[in-house]
Every structure is written in structure tokens, then in C-alpha cells.
Structure 1
Amino acid sequence: MATQLAPCQAPHWARAAAPRLASRVAGVALLALGGDALAQAPVPTGPPNAPEQRPAFAAQARAPALPASAPLCSERVAEGLEFPWGLAFVDNDTALVTERPGRLRRVDLRSGTLSAPISGLPDIDARGQGGLLDITLDPDFERNRRLYLSYAEPREGGKNGTSVARATLAAGGQRLEELTVIFRQTPAWVSTKHFGSRLVWDTQGHLYVTLGERSLPEPRQLAQDPHTHLGKVVRIDPDGSIPADNPFAAGQAGAPAVWSYGHRNIQGAALHPESGKLWTVEHGPRGGDELNVPLAGRNYGWPVITYGEDYSGAPIGEGVTARAGMEQPIYYWDPVIAPGDMTFYQGARFPDWHGDLIIASLSPGGLVRLTLDGERVSGEQRLASGLGRVRDVAEGPDGALWALTDARDGALVRLLPGME
């Protein structure tokens, strides 16, 4: 079931004095609507693009629809962002936001004021789906002021590829210093599509980087080659070196940085707060967006197996959805949700959502909420469709949900229970 979206009645700083009480009130409303009780029918989405395909196990697709929860309210905290992509909270009052054309800005979360573009960024190829992509802060950011950026980097001969750079945010937050490229996707390709890319820290201080397979028919085949970085999750140390326990660390069976392979275009990733495992959500073809828990050295099938079909309506490869030695997604969507980033909700603002997975949707837009039973999806809900295309979603220090809308005049939006 969908949840309605309405403007918040007052700016968030006017409500900051009593968030816990408001959360308890919202919790009562949510519980009154049935908590986690599941309806039997799935979320209404229209027919699948590949109706002859069948899930490999129960509730791998079209899980039961969750009952409608309390209305959400939205507050456009900052506007005038051009195709914002990644979001990182520096503290309770400040966030950093990337813009795909190649700008990094500070946002004052109290006033919504945007800084001038922060200087010192690397060379960025901002054509097509490329540009400045994700941002994450070093786990020890308060001490070392380091941050990490993923971006489409121009390479020799008109080629490009996803790269990761780390830098220090100078005092005052106006420029980056000591910028160093710590990872470069290889091989580079002449393509403006499927760069990935999300950055996620694991519990040991390693950095996961998700990488697209560059979309075109020739490079997509390299998603199956573990010696390349196309269509992969890679795992590196903060300086770009290789963790000794990576599955191909020795370099003989695959590229040392590779964690998992056979992916298409992963633009959402988050670490499970209890298991510590990486979860990812990736764009499929027409139908076939996937939710995965990528395990070390495993093959996730693209483009040999996939749900959905090509944009022409033709099958992908042999049109098969399963093969020995290739992993099944724990969930897939047909029709697609065109996923952006995702987060496991842990805050108190939405007490009934604790542990649920919240995913940004570019099409049809808004957010997708999933309830989980271990590593299986038990229910699905569509939220905040009025936001349109959502590229990133994150839980803020205040326990609210924060979303970046993917538009030429994009916004940073704060979402709260409607009673607050």
C-alpha cells in the first residue's frame, strides 16, 4: 500500500525540542494501523515485462503488500541542487552533497543554505550517467577530516571509468587537500553509462565500491570475468591496498580487489547493522532489478542469467534465470523500481520501521520499504511517490529520513511521520 506525502507543518528546527515524544505518538498511530501485519496481495505495479519467468522461491518477487502506515510529511530543506547524487552527514547541522555535473557542496541543515562549490576535486567526466557520484566520510573523520569520492574519471583515448579518490576537507570546509586517487576501474571503456557506484565501509574498516559493467554489449560480458573490474563489487583498504582476506587477493583466479562479480549496475548498497554483511540493490534490464547479499568470490550471473528482458523486448542472452554456480537474488522487481541508494532504518522517528530496508526509487519514484525475515523479504510498501525520482536516501543524525531528488533543480528533502 502507498503512503501519502504532505508538507510538514513547521520547519524542523521548531520541532527539535521534543523528537522523542513525537516519535512515541507516531508509533502509536503506526501500531494502530496494524504494525507489521501483512496483506496477502502484492503492491499493485502492473504486469511483469517477462510474464513467463517464475521466481526461484516463494516471495522472491511481489512480496505481500504492507498495510498503509501513518502519513509522511516532507520538508524541502535545500533546493537548487543539479542532479544531486550522494549525501554524507558531517554533524547534526551540516551535510555534504555531490552533484553529478562535478560539484561538491556543504549544506546548512538549519537554514538550507548551500555553500559555493568546494574546490580541489579531481578531473571528472560528467557526460551521460557519469559525473561526481558517491561520497563517504572516513570512519575517523572527526580526527582526520578525510572523505572519499567516487566519480567517472576521463582516461586516455576518450575512455573513462569509475575511480575513487580520498582527500582531506580543509578547515572551513571550502576546499579539498591532499587528494589521491586510490582506485581505478579497469579496463576503461568508451561509454557514458553504468558507472555504479556506492561506497560502504565494513566493520573492519575496509571500503566496498560497487561498479557498473558499462552497459554496452561488449563490456557487459566482462562482468563474468573476475580479472576485470566491470560489473563487480570491489573491497579495498582506505589507502587503496588489498585486504589479505579478499577472495582473489593472490591475483591468480581474479583481480585482487574483486569481492563479487556478475553484477550489472549497482547504485545502492548498505551494511546490515546486525550481521555486518553488505547488501546491494542493482539496476536490471527491463524488469529484473535485484536485491543481493554479495558473498566473497560468488558469481551473481549477469549477463548469463537475469530476470526481465532487454529494452528491445528481446531476451538477454539465452533468456534463462538460473544456472549452476550462479547466485539467485534474494528479491527482484519486474516491473522495475530503478533503484538508487538504500539504508537500513535504525532510528526512533519511525519505531515500527526499525530494521526495515528503505530504498530510493527513480521510477516510478519515491521510496520502497521492505520488511525482512532474515535474508528474505516478507513485505513491501511504496512511500512518498510525490517526491518523484529519488537518487539517495539516508537516515540522518536526527532519526529522520533524508532524500535527494534526481532533477536539474534537485532538492534535499527531510521526511517525518505526518503527525510530527
Structure 2
Amino acid sequence: MDHAATTPVRKEVLDEMMPYFSEYYGNPSSIYYLSNFSKIAIDKARERVAKTINAEKNEIYFTGGGTEADNWAIKGIASKLRDKGNHIITSKIEHHAILHTCEYLEKNGFEVTYLNVDEYGMISLDELERSIKDNTILISIMFANNEIGTIEPIKEIGSIARKHNVIFHTDAVQAVGSLPIDVKDMNIDLLSMSAHKLYGPKGVGALYVRKGIKIDSLIHGGAQEKNKRAGTENVPGIVGLGKAIELAYSELEENTAKLVELRDYMIKNIQNRIPEVRLNGHPTKRLPGNVNICFRYIEGESLLLSLDMYKIEASSGSACTSGSLDPSHVLLAIGLPHEIAHGSLRLSLGIKNTKEEVDFVIDKLVTIVDRLRQMSPLYEKNQEGK
């Protein structure tokens, strides 16, 4: 129940990757026969990735993951366009790969506007347009939020950016493989993705850079990726990303229908069987498998530990901040007070989850929440006041 954190590598993906570990192990930068297998495999993966988002093959650059792609997009544009301006616009609910990169740039002479979001986690298009200044060089808004699942109005954001001649980047790590994406129709200039969120391997991702967009390199060294991203290519990983994204989009309609049905079933039954719960994120414009709920009067950490005893894997937010005791910055941004935000639970469904598993989780949640509330002084005080 934590597929937003990562997904298992599909057998079809692993099978296609395996030959490139030991049989076709040549360095793609070498000129001899063995290396041609690696070059051809990378080229095929680039075509697969490009096709699924309606990009051109030469607009896809492979990276070490979504975080690198995000860093490269923001730092690369900031460096390239520093003479033109130093203002960047993002939102308060971005992944830390975006927020921490922007904070780094703020320490180095850049100005960043962090847009507010409404109670559902949606940015205001009017506020976005009002925030654009003469020195604005980049807008970076995530496609879909990794915690609460809200899908942002990407096409409209892209239109505003294009109208004002500002580059638009979207962190689509949670969206790629789960939502239809057309970079041309949506006016997207740069887009980040990661293989391990769509049943591919960890440690590989990609950055789409629209033809004509100039961007400085993040990693320097060799001439790989058209002199833009140095380092010997992770050939098996790149092959895995290509296969995983092809599978995801060939099955998109079928998988989306299944996940939406399971998601809505889970939300409805949790709300019906457990009092004083709050659904976080947009009720309909949300990722197909995302369920994010706050339970009043209990701590999310206790809830996770109790679920783990039943071998139910879940999270209270982003896996990248699982060591933090602070409430989610996303939940605080949508207006939740600390005491409620602390009781959050994110359940993210995958393509292999079943209705029986969902029922099992709901049953255990009913028992666990009731037990934890009986131990809560806040709950006891609330009951006495009724």
C-alpha cells in the first residue's frame, strides 16, 4: 500500500534488462562491436520514452533518477539564464528535490516565489500570472503531488508560461506511467521522471528538454548524452525505464480504471466506518491510486507501526522525509493544523493490489484507530466534552 514510495520491478522489465548486465556489457562510448548492443539499447529506450509523452527522441536525456532530473532542470536553467533574470516561481507543496534546490539557489542570489495552494492542494492560476515579473526565468510546478495526489492544471500553467515567454518545468515523477501526458499539447518545456515509480528499476530517470531550450549541464565529465550529462550510461537501468514506460502506457486505460475503483472504494469505506477522518487532496482530480487521510486524535507514526505489525506497508507522507518528526509541509500548506496533520496516512495502491487486500486494510484500520484513540488524552477530553 505504498506504491508512491516505490514499485516492484515487473518481470517483463527485468527480463529485458538482464542481458545488459553481463552478456551485452560493452561501454556505449567505445567503438568496438560489443558496444553497439548498448548503443542500440539506449536508442530504443529513448524512443520509447519520447513516444509516451509525445516528445522527440533527441529531447530525452537519461539521468540517475527523478531528483537529479529536478536538480538539473532548475539549476541548469538558473545558470544558463542568470544574465536574463534571477526569479523562479514554484509552489509550497513541491517535492523536496524542488524545494531544497530552490532554497540552495536563494542562498546564491536567486529570488523564489512559493505559490500558495487551496485546501485541495491546487495552485491559483491568477496568483501564478500575477507573480510573473520581468526577471522571471522559470516556473516549476509538479504535475501531481506525491503525498495528497492532487493533479495540477498543467496545460493551463504551460499556456501562462508560454504567453509570458517563461520556461516551464514540471516534476512529473508521480504522474508518468499513471496519467496521459503530451508535452506539446501541455506546453511543457522540461519534464522530470523516474523509473522506479512505474515498475522499473531504481537509480534511473530522465529529463525531457524541449528542442530549442538552452540548459547548462549539472554533471561534467565525458561527452555522454550529447555532451549534456556526463558519466557512463546505466544501460540496464535505461533499458528498464524504456520497457517499464512502454508497458505502463500500453495498459494505462485498464490500470487506471482498476485503481480508481479501488481508491474510491477504500475512501468511501474508511469514511463510513471510522469517525472524524479527513480526506486530503482533491476529491476527483487526484492520482488513480492515491488515498491520503487524516485521523484526528492519533499520531501517524503510531498508526504506521501498528499497520506494520499486520505487514501492511504505508506511509505518512513522502518516503524521502520518513525520518522527520515534523508534520508534512504539504498538509500544513493546505491549511491543516499541526495536531491534525500529525495523524496523516498515505495509502498508494498498485496494479497488483486486490479488493480483498483493501478490505483487509480497512478492517485493520478500524481496529487500530479505535485502539489508539482509546489511549489518546485528546480523544478522551473530546469525548467528555460531548
Name the TM-score, length of structure 1 as normaliser. Answer: 0.25
Q: Which of structures 1 and 2 has the bigger CA Rg?
A: 2
Task: Write 1 or 2 for the structure with the bigger share of strand.
Answer: 1
